[in-house]
Amino acid sequence: MNRKEAIQIISDRIGDEIIVSANGFIGRDLFEINDKENNFYMIGSMGLSSSIGLGIALKKPKKRVYIFDGDGNILMNLGSLATIGYLKPRNFFHFIFDNNAHESTGGQPTVSNSIKIQKIAKVTGYKIFEVRNHTELQKVLTKIKNMSGPTMIHIKIERNSKSSKRVKHDPIHIRDRFMRSIK
Amino acid sequence: MSEDFQRKIFDFFAKNKIENFVGVPDSTLKHFIARGLEQKKILIATREEEAIGIAAGMTLSKSLSLVFMQNAGFANSISTITSLIQLYSIPIIFLIGWRGYLPSDAPEHTKIGKIQPSLLKLIGLRSKIIMEKNWQNNCRWALQQLRHNRSCALIIRRLSNE
């Protein structure tokens, strides 16, 4: 399964929920597959999608917040796992698309294959799921439907340097429509 | 700045619709933080960039936020401020303790302390130094910046070497 296929499946299943996407190819894929007003495309500030999502989840406890994160991104902000595990937001769902690479910068390796990001999350207090293929992803998406967070869904994906087009919305427009949509 | 004034500054912001106080501790700001902890209104993050990310999410959820940090942490945060806070115009008040203001401060603060005012200017973050005689006016100025969707910084100088 590649990143775009995984993002397609998740988008089809979670419906019209809040999504915060990491910078790089993840946000571009989301933009191409499922552009909507309550997507916050983080195009700069590497590593911070989980933290931005945490801020939203704490202030909008009745809405589910989905984070589309990458291995490179979360490795830059492992501290956020400690804060999230401590605060335990029940509406926080954290997808990690792990291709063991910084795909957006040319496919340089990350250390994710040698460590287990999901186990780090588990000891901070997350519930965790591991996914390696379409079938497992579909099963986990059914399971988390009636579950509370913080939950991490770690998805092993293939490398795929084919990128979607850049997010074409102006950042101020991304902000305005996001703020309008979440009320 | 004395304990009494720092506590007043916290209370002022809490009374004026600042709902979130997120940051990384700094000894120059310790009385401000202590007041917030008493009120259970402080969230301590692992790093300054993380604090800014959380505060940005809260502000996007229409809940106003202040981020506190030492100026060493401000230096850590420059890329986050330019590529998140300024890029999306997410209004946040930064409260920054200024170590290295006195040339006789500890050696690790000297260089970054010296360039602190230039760093603020370079990235175009409006700022004011707050002192006991002007804190109310400058804190009101900061609230006004938020109303115009602008971020800003309030700086508290470290005036002793203890």
> Distances from the Cα of A3 to the Cαs of A32, A33, A143, B59, B99, in angstroms?
12, 11, 21, 30, 45
Signed CA dihedral, B53, B55, B57, B59: sign only: negative
Which structure tokens are listed for A163? 């990128």
pLDDT of A120 > 90? The answer is yes
pLDDT, position B162: 63
Chain B residues 52-91 with a CB less than 8 Å from chain A: 52-63, 65, 79-80, 82-84, 87-90
What is the share, in percent, of chain B residues with pLDDT greater than 70? 99
Interface test with B, best of A60, A83, A94 (most B CBs within 10 A): A83
pLDDT at residue A160, rounded to an integer:
82
Instruction: Output the pLDDT for position A183.
Output: 79
Chain A residue whose CA is closest to B23 = A83
Q: State how far residue B88 is from chain A, nearest Cα, in angstroms.
A: 5
> Residue A48: its pLDDT value, please?
98
Tokens of A131: 């996914």
Average pLDDT across chain B, whole number: 96
User: CB-based contact (8 Å) between B17 and chain A?
Assistant: no
Question: Tens of pLDDT along B108-119?
Answer: 999 999 999 999
- Asked if the Cβ–Cβ distance from B87 to A57 is below 8 Å, we say no
pLDDT (tens digit, 9 = 90+) per residue, A13-42? 999 999 999 999 999 999 999 999 999 999
- List, for residues A58-68, the tens digit of each pLDDT value: 999 999 999 99
ipTM over 0.90: yes
pLDDT in tens, A133-174: 999 999 999 999 999 999 999 999 999 878 889 999 999 999
Query: Phi/psi at A172 (nearest 5 deg)?
Result: -65, -35
Residues recorded for chain A = 183
Position A51, amino acid = S
**pLDDT tens, position by position, B27-62:** 999 999 999 999 999 999 999 999 999 999 999 999
Tally of CA atoms within 13 A in the half-sphere of B106 that contains its CB: 7
> Is the CB of residue B23 less than 8 Å from the CB of residue B48?
yes
Cβ contact A48–B52 (<8 Å): yes
